[in-house]
Amino acid sequence: MSSISTRLPAVAGVVVTLLAGVLFFGQDRMLPVIFLEEEHAFPYGPLAAGVGQSFVAPAPYLSRVTVTIDASGIPTSGFPLNLRIRDDHGEVIAEFRRLVDRLGVSAQAISFSPIADSKGRLFEVEIQPAEGAEGDIYLPMRTGSGVAGESFREQEGRLNDEWSVNFRLDQTVRPLTFTRGILAADTLTGVGLLATLALLTVALTSALRSAGRVLGFRIGQVTGGLFAAGLMLAMGWAAYALYPVA
């Protein structure tokens, strides 16, 4: 059997691993949401109808919104709560029913596919008791951030830009979408980044083969190149993870 055939399973395994990492591996980050006061100001409720909190996403790849609720007097079967996310066109992009099954303060989240162009766009998270819900749900309110476009839609339909529900935003970034975003924002920078990665991979491959000769074992060009590419991708992604959200 030729040396190429014997190395083929290992090469295929490395390639599949790299592709899986690029396509599916993601990093979740909490996005910065600034409130004028640290503590909750007052409870809003009990909820008898839907309310909404609009916000401007501070970064791309928005993927999850979490709101804080306070449950009181709910039955053992739980309190069904509808959560919806609407975009700046009023379209529902995600909808989920949560079952609040414990008393007191808890965090309720709705997740959806990462929105690559979410930065600077206005979204609304809607919180609505489902039909047949029993018990009382309150929202711990906070002083709003004062950012233009942000407001709290009360049960009666009034908009209030001085108060906000306590919410948290998260993003999920994958290597493939991150690279695509760089190329879309600045093609020259993206191409330069890829060229730098290619040059570093070639240099690392050469260094690995030289080290192998010194240590008395042979590292093939393909094996060294794949190992170097995987190492460079892993190091690059780890370095990116240390940068603040942008």
Q: What's the number of domains the chain is made of?
A: 2
- CA dist 127 and 54 (Å) reads 11
Residue 51: per-residue pLDDT: 97
Residue 62: per-residue pLDDT: 92
Asked whether 161 and 100 are in contact (CB, 8 A), the reply is: no
Tell whether 11 and 43 lie within a shared domain.
no
Structural domain containing residue 184: 3-26+175-241
Residue 3: per-residue pLDDT: 53
Give the CATH number, domain containing residue 129. Answer: 2.60.120.820
- CA dist 103 and 244 (Å) reads 36
Closest C-alpha among 74, 117, 129 to residue 93:
117
Which residue among 172, 197, 231 closes a domain?
172
Tell whether 45 and 92 lie within a shared domain.
yes
- CA dist 7 and 234 (Å) reads 22
Residue 198: per-residue pLDDT: 77
Tell whether 222 and 109 lie within a shared domain.
no
Return per-residue pLDDT of the chain as tens, 246 residues. 455 555 565 566 666 666 655 555 667 777 877 776 667 789 999 999 999 999 999 888 899 999 999 999 898 889 999 999 999 999 999 999 999 988 999 999 999 988 988 999 999 999 999 988 899 999 999 887 656 678 999 999 999 988 899 999 998 877 666 666 667 767 787 777 777 777 777 887 788 778 877 877 777 777 777 777 777 777 766 666 665 555
Residue 12: per-residue pLDDT: 65
**Is 246 a domain residue?**
no
Strand 159-160 relative to strand 152-153: parallel, antiparallel, unpaired? antiparallel
Tell whether 101 and 168 lie within a shared domain.
yes
Tell whether 71 and 157 lie within a shared domain.
yes
**Is 182 a domain residue?**
yes
Tell whether 140 and 161 lie within a shared domain.
yes
Tell whether 98 and 137 lie within a shared domain.
yes
Closest C-alpha among 62, 61, 93 to residue 180:
61
Model confidence pLDDT, tens digit, residues 223-246:
777 777 777 777 766 666 665 555
Residue 29: per-residue pLDDT: 78
Residue 209's CB is within 10 A of a number of other CB atoms, namely: 18
With H, G, I as helix, E, B as strand and everything else as coil, classify residue 138: strand
Tell whether 18 and 107 lie within a shared domain.
no
Which residue among 172, 198, 231 closes a domain?
172
Tell whether 126 and 63 lie within a shared domain.
yes
